[in-house]
Amino acid sequence: MKTRKVILYIAMSLDGYIATNDGDLSWLDAVQVPGEDYGYNAFVSSVDTVIMGRKTYDKVLTFDIPFPHKGHMCYVLSNSKQGTDENVTFYNGDLTALIADLKSKEGEDIFVDGGANIVNELMKHGLIDKFIVSVIPVFLGGGIRLFNDGRPGETLKLGHTSTYPSGLVQMWYDRV
Protein backbone atom coordinates (compact mmCIF):
# COMPACT_ATOMS: atom_id res chain seq x y z
CA MET A 1 0.00 0.00 0.00
CA LYS A 2 1.31 3.45 -0.97
CA THR A 3 1.99 5.72 2.00
CA ARG A 4 -0.24 8.75 1.63
CA LYS A 5 1.44 12.10 2.17
CA VAL A 6 -0.10 15.22 3.69
CA ILE A 7 0.90 18.07 1.39
CA LEU A 8 0.52 21.79 1.96
CA TYR A 9 0.11 23.60 -1.37
CA ILE A 10 -0.29 27.30 -0.75
CA ALA A 11 0.72 30.80 -1.86
CA MET A 12 2.09 33.53 0.36
CA SER A 13 3.36 37.07 -0.06
CA LEU A 14 7.09 37.68 0.08
CA ASP A 15 6.64 38.88 3.67
CA GLY A 16 4.88 35.65 4.70
CA TYR A 17 1.14 36.39 4.59
CA ILE A 18 -1.62 34.32 2.97
CA ALA A 19 -4.30 37.02 3.14
CA THR A 20 -4.86 40.55 4.33
CA ASN A 21 -6.43 41.03 7.77
CA ASP A 22 -9.90 41.11 6.17
CA GLY A 23 -9.21 37.93 4.16
CA ASP A 24 -8.62 39.68 0.83
CA LEU A 25 -6.73 37.65 -1.76
CA SER A 26 -6.74 40.12 -4.66
CA TRP A 27 -2.96 40.51 -4.34
CA LEU A 28 -2.68 37.05 -5.94
CA ASP A 29 -3.72 38.75 -9.19
CA ALA A 30 -0.15 40.10 -9.43
CA VAL A 31 0.90 36.75 -10.95
CA GLN A 32 -2.20 35.87 -12.97
CA VAL A 33 -1.01 34.95 -16.46
CA PRO A 34 -3.38 33.43 -19.05
CA GLY A 35 -2.72 29.70 -19.39
CA GLU A 36 -0.34 29.52 -16.41
CA ASP A 37 -1.49 27.51 -13.40
CA TYR A 38 1.94 27.05 -11.76
CA GLY A 39 1.48 23.27 -11.63
CA TYR A 40 -1.80 23.43 -9.72
CA ASN A 41 -3.83 21.17 -12.03
CA ALA A 42 -1.13 18.49 -12.06
CA PHE A 43 -0.89 18.70 -8.28
CA VAL A 44 -4.66 18.46 -7.74
CA SER A 45 -4.80 15.38 -9.98
CA SER A 46 -2.36 13.66 -7.58
CA VAL A 47 -4.62 13.99 -4.52
CA ASP A 48 -8.01 12.57 -3.63
CA THR A 49 -8.62 14.25 -0.28
CA VAL A 50 -8.64 17.92 0.72
CA ILE A 51 -8.55 19.41 4.21
CA MET A 52 -9.29 23.08 4.83
CA GLY A 53 -10.50 25.36 7.55
CA ARG A 54 -14.00 26.81 7.63
CA LYS A 55 -12.83 30.36 6.90
CA THR A 56 -10.98 29.11 3.82
CA TYR A 57 -14.07 27.17 2.74
CA ASP A 58 -16.30 30.21 3.21
CA LYS A 59 -13.84 32.29 1.15
CA VAL A 60 -13.74 29.71 -1.66
CA LEU A 61 -17.54 29.84 -1.86
CA THR A 62 -17.35 33.59 -2.64
CA PHE A 63 -15.31 32.97 -5.81
CA ASP A 64 -17.20 33.21 -9.08
CA ILE A 65 -16.31 29.62 -10.02
CA PRO A 66 -17.71 26.18 -9.26
CA PHE A 67 -16.38 24.56 -6.08
CA PRO A 68 -12.81 23.59 -7.11
CA HIS A 69 -12.60 20.32 -5.18
CA LYS A 70 -15.57 18.47 -6.70
CA GLY A 71 -14.64 14.83 -7.05
CA HIS A 72 -12.37 14.88 -3.99
CA MET A 73 -13.23 13.89 -0.45
CA CYS A 74 -13.17 17.26 1.26
CA TYR A 75 -13.07 17.85 5.02
CA VAL A 76 -13.71 21.30 6.43
CA LEU A 77 -12.52 21.71 10.00
CA SER A 78 -15.14 23.64 11.93
CA ASN A 79 -16.21 24.14 15.51
CA SER A 80 -19.58 25.54 14.48
CA LYS A 81 -20.80 23.37 11.59
CA GLN A 82 -21.50 19.65 11.49
CA GLY A 83 -22.64 17.12 8.94
CA THR A 84 -22.23 17.66 5.23
CA ASP A 85 -23.27 19.98 2.46
CA GLU A 86 -23.13 19.51 -1.32
CA ASN A 87 -19.33 19.94 -1.31
CA VAL A 88 -17.80 18.87 1.98
CA THR A 89 -17.95 16.98 5.26
CA PHE A 90 -17.60 19.22 8.30
CA TYR A 91 -15.24 17.78 10.90
CA ASN A 92 -14.88 18.94 14.49
CA GLY A 93 -12.96 16.05 15.97
CA ASP A 94 -9.28 15.53 16.74
CA LEU A 95 -7.17 16.62 13.75
CA THR A 96 -4.41 14.08 14.50
CA ALA A 97 -7.02 11.30 14.56
CA LEU A 98 -8.40 12.43 11.19
CA ILE A 99 -4.93 12.39 9.63
CA ALA A 100 -4.12 8.98 11.13
CA ASP A 101 -7.42 7.60 9.82
CA LEU A 102 -6.86 8.99 6.32
CA LYS A 103 -3.28 7.73 6.17
CA SER A 104 -4.38 4.24 7.26
CA LYS A 105 -6.64 3.95 4.21
CA GLU A 106 -5.79 3.26 0.60
CA GLY A 107 -5.75 6.40 -1.50
CA GLU A 108 -3.86 9.24 -3.07
CA ASP A 109 -2.14 12.08 -1.24
CA ILE A 110 -3.95 14.56 1.03
CA PHE A 111 -4.03 18.27 0.11
CA VAL A 112 -4.01 20.87 2.90
CA ASP A 113 -5.64 23.94 1.33
CA GLY A 114 -5.38 26.34 4.30
CA GLY A 115 -5.85 28.30 6.32
CA ALA A 116 -3.15 29.35 8.68
CA ASN A 117 -4.74 27.88 11.82
CA ILE A 118 -4.97 24.43 10.23
CA VAL A 119 -1.42 24.64 8.86
CA ASN A 120 0.00 25.60 12.23
CA GLU A 121 -1.98 22.95 14.10
CA LEU A 122 -0.74 20.28 11.69
CA MET A 123 2.82 21.57 12.09
CA LYS A 124 2.60 21.39 15.89
CA HIS A 125 2.05 17.65 15.49
CA GLY A 126 4.55 17.10 12.65
CA LEU A 127 1.79 16.03 10.28
CA ILE A 128 2.73 17.84 7.06
CA ASP A 129 4.99 15.65 4.92
CA LYS A 130 5.59 18.07 2.04
CA PHE A 131 5.41 21.85 1.72
CA ILE A 132 4.78 23.39 -1.71
CA VAL A 133 4.88 27.13 -1.17
CA SER A 134 4.51 29.67 -3.96
CA VAL A 135 5.96 33.06 -3.04
CA ILE A 136 4.21 35.97 -4.73
CA PRO A 137 6.41 39.05 -5.32
CA VAL A 138 4.36 41.45 -3.20
CA PHE A 139 4.71 42.79 0.33
CA LEU A 140 1.38 42.97 2.16
CA GLY A 141 2.82 44.64 5.24
CA GLY A 142 0.45 42.74 7.51
CA GLY A 143 -2.37 40.25 7.49
CA ILE A 144 -2.78 36.57 8.19
CA ARG A 145 0.62 34.93 8.57
CA LEU A 146 1.19 31.51 7.08
CA PHE A 147 3.55 30.34 9.82
CA ASN A 148 2.76 31.39 13.38
CA ASP A 149 5.00 31.31 16.42
CA GLY A 150 4.52 28.53 18.95
CA ARG A 151 5.21 25.52 16.78
CA PRO A 152 8.28 23.32 17.03
CA GLY A 153 11.31 23.96 14.84
CA GLU A 154 11.65 21.67 11.87
CA THR A 155 14.32 20.81 9.30
CA LEU A 156 13.23 20.43 5.70
CA LYS A 157 14.92 19.07 2.59
CA LEU A 158 14.60 21.05 -0.63
CA GLY A 159 13.09 18.96 -3.41
CA HIS A 160 13.16 21.60 -6.11
CA THR A 161 12.31 25.16 -6.98
CA SER A 162 10.63 26.67 -10.00
CA THR A 163 10.79 30.29 -11.07
CA TYR A 164 8.34 31.94 -13.44
CA PRO A 165 8.46 35.11 -15.57
CA SER A 166 5.67 36.59 -13.40
CA GLY A 167 8.11 36.64 -10.47
CA LEU A 168 6.44 33.75 -8.63
CA VAL A 169 8.90 31.34 -7.03
CA GLN A 170 7.66 27.91 -6.03
CA MET A 171 9.57 25.84 -3.48
CA TRP A 172 9.00 22.14 -2.78
CA TYR A 173 10.27 20.90 0.61
CA ASP A 174 10.00 17.50 2.29
CA ARG A 175 10.10 16.86 6.01
CA VAL A 176 13.35 15.21 7.03
Cα Rg of the chain (Å, integer): 16
Helix (H, G, I), strand (E, B) or coil at 20: coil
Q: Are 57 and 113 in contact (CB under 8 A)?
A: no
Domain extents in the chain? 6-170
- CA pseudo-torsion sign 4, 68, 131, 99: negative
Tell whether the model's pLDDT for residue 156 goes beyond 80: yes
Report pLDDT digits (tens) over 9-59.
999 999 999 999 999 999 999 999 999 999 999 999 999 999 999 999 999
- pTM for this model (two decimals): 0.95
Which residues are paired to 53 by β-bridges?
A: 77
User: The domain 6-170 is classified under which CATH number: 3.40.50.2000, 3.40.250.10, 3.40.430.10, 3.90.1150.10?
Assistant: 3.40.430.10
Cα distance between residue 148 and residue 18, in whole Å = 12
